[in-house]
Structures are given as structure tokens and as C-alpha cells.
Structure 1
């Protein structure tokens, strides 16, 4: 399940040119994450969490049942995502990366997929009216605060997904596990219901229960 090699800096310029050309037709309607001062310890921790966004290593599982459950999830999510991403290879690579980055940040893949649906409609080059970029609509100031300062790399799939997951995890920790408030901060609308409700509603499309696990836990017929 290895992913493709990372996009190098020289190739990023081409991605940005294409993204800007498409901006008028892929504009997103996300809110603006608010730039807040970060304590040095928080900044260091977030920078470390962002670092090393190259293709994740091949996924490893404790046993064959876990691997098979993952493959069933991947197949189910691929079917659901077809209308948003028609290319099969791109779709699988995207889902592999969402799974890896969400689990790495301690988030549910269904939540992250719901957030992406709400933020960008699964458009890689989406740009909001306030300048948020990519799948998870990350504001460019985050690359200056905890990244390498190159906002163009927010159009690279894994970089964008990693930033989005790390930022949501940061807000969730800051809100002591309150997902409603954390989603509000992610959107720059803390305390308002519209955005959290939209993401939580979208999450339902991506929730999945392994049918094999349900069958295994069912009581035996008498």
C-alpha cells in the first residue's frame, strides 16, 4: 500500500499555476481559520507533527483480520467517492492518505472525510474567498507558523491532509475534546452551529461498520 513519491519543490510551481488558473471554477466557501498566537511548546509540537510529510510507509497491521477489515473499508469508501473522484488510482491513493493521516492524528477517517466534503467538496485545488487552500482548506499563515513557509505546498495532497488533520487535532485538544467547538475554531466560527452541524452531517456519509465484525458478534441461532 505504498504511495507515490512526494511532489518536489520544482513541480510545486506548476501545481500552483494550474491551481490559480482553476481558482475561478474551484472556489470554496470555507470560513477563515483565525491566526492565534501559539505558545513556544505548542508551536514546536505542531511543527514536529507536520514535519516529514513524504509518502507514508506501507501500512502495517497486527494481524490479517485488521488488514482485511482495512481493505473492506477501502473498497466501500472507494465506491462512495466515485462521483467525486472518477479516476480509480487517484481515488485509492487519496483514501489511503486520508486513512493514514487521520489515524496518525488520532482522528476518525469518517470525520476527516466529512470535513473535506464540507470544506472543498473533494477539490484538490479549491481556493476560498479568504485564501484557504486545498482539500482541507488550510489558511496559508499555518505554513509560516508551523511549516516551511511555502504556502504553495498546500496544493500537494499529503501536505494538505497532514496540515488539516494536525490543525483539527490541535483545536480538539485546545477545546478539551469538544468536537463541536473544535470544528467551529477550524472554520473561524467558534460557538456557531452551522459549520459543525454541516461537517457532522457530512460525516454520516462516510461512517462504516465492518459487516464481518457485525456478523461475528451476532448471537448464534438456537
Structure 2
């Protein structure tokens, strides 16, 4: 679970982004890729996203209580087992899951949703590049580096940076769509209103859902 600090940050970011209009990010799976374009955004949105991206704290989990720590450890153990075939190196897998959990919860997202989106976008390939030029795990378009970053597109292949961009952008779209995840996913892919991409991500999410009760009963 996110800490109070993370929850406040997500709420602040969501409030700043809720009234904005902004470009869609893109997908890395050609079957779902849409026509991406950059649009104008409010200065408040640009600043909120830039501040979120610029936070340099390491992606190390912190917990409000012991129960939250135990739940995270159970989630980590389960996800590590599921991800082992895709990311066989233990250290790389550990760093990836720590970052994915941190950036997901920081943005107020279910980590399972983010893992499902990554499965659809890049199939967990760190250096994936789409036909449209989207990069990395969450297939972030290079123009985002200029709009809300330091214009260094190479950083989009950095694991934590890519996850931070992707989670922040998805959070923005969810707020723009007033919590409608289906439409928000369409915006992320540049195919708002068409079912293929949202349905693919929602189906993948089910594969990465975590139910501590079911895990305990095995």
C-alpha cells in the first residue's frame, strides 16, 4: 500500500491534471498502436508532471505498518515467481518489481494493472521500440522527454525513469477521464473509443492480480 506521503502526492498530481487536455502516449504492440500526437497542455499540468518525474528518491518501499510490509512481501514473492520466466536474472527481477511497485503505488495505481500494461506494451523488454518510436517497458513516446523532462530521450530506456513516466501519464489520463479506466487506457494507446487495446490490458491485468487469501491457501 502507498504511504501517506505517496497518497498525498498522487492526490495532488491527480488534482492538478484533472482539468487538462493532453496528448496520448503510445503503445508498443503494433496490433494496438494508434496515431499518436502531441497536443497543448496547461502550464499547471506540465509543472505537475515535471515535478513528479524529477523526484529523485530511490524506489525503495516504505510502509505505514507491519501489516502493509507483510502484504508487500507476499506480493513480491508471488510476482517474482510469476515473472521468473520473463526476467530470469534475480537481481534484475528484484529491481524491476521494487520499481514497479513503488511507481505504481506512488501514482495511485494497482501494480497489477501496470504489470498487465507492460505485458501488452513491451512484453517486458526493456529496450523495446515501437514502429512509432515509443520506448521501453511502458512504451513512452520520446516527445514526453521534452515536454516534462530534461529532453534526454536516452533516459526513457532507464528502468525507473520509464516506469515513472508511464505511471504518471496513465494516472493523468485516468483523472482526465474521471476514473474511467477503459477510456484512459485508450488515451494511453492513442485509440480512445476503440476496444482492442483496453480489452487487452484489462485481460492481462487479471494475470497479474494479487489475492493474498488465495496465495495463503495454496
TM-score, length of structure 2 as denominator length: 0.82
Higher Cα Rg, which structure: 1
Measure the CA separation in 2 of the matches of 1:196 and 1:52. Answer: 29
| Counterpart in the other structure of 1:196 | 198
Q: 1:103 to 1:210 in 2, by over 3 A?
A: same
Task: Specify every segment of 5 or more residues in structure 1 that has no aligned partner in the other structure, as ranges.
Answer: 1-26, 216-222
Report if aligned partners of 1:110, 1:203 keep a CA contact under 8 Å in 2.
yes
Match for residue 145 of structure 1 among 139, 142, 147: 147
Report if aligned partners of 1:28, 1:120 keep a CA contact under 8 Å in 2.
yes
Measure the CA separation in 1 of the matches of 2:183 and 2:89. Answer: 35
Match for residue 37 of structure 1 among 13, 16, 40: 40
- 1:160 paired with 2:162, answer yes
Q: 1:213 to 1:195 in 2, by over 3 A?
A: closer
Q: How many residues align?
A: 188
Measure the CA separation in 1 of the matches of 2:141 and 2:210. Answer: 30
Task: Specify every segment of 5 or more residues in structure 2 that has no aligned partner in the other structure, as ranges.
Answer: 1-27
Q: Deviation per CA, 1:173-195, whole angstroms, max 9, x where unpaired?
A: 11111100110010010100000
Deviates more, 1:175-184 or 1:60-69: 60-69
Q: Deviation per CA, 1:93-121, whole angstroms, max 9, x where unpaired?
A: 10010000000001000000000000000
Measure the CA separation in 2 of the matches of 1:148 and 1:163. Answer: 12
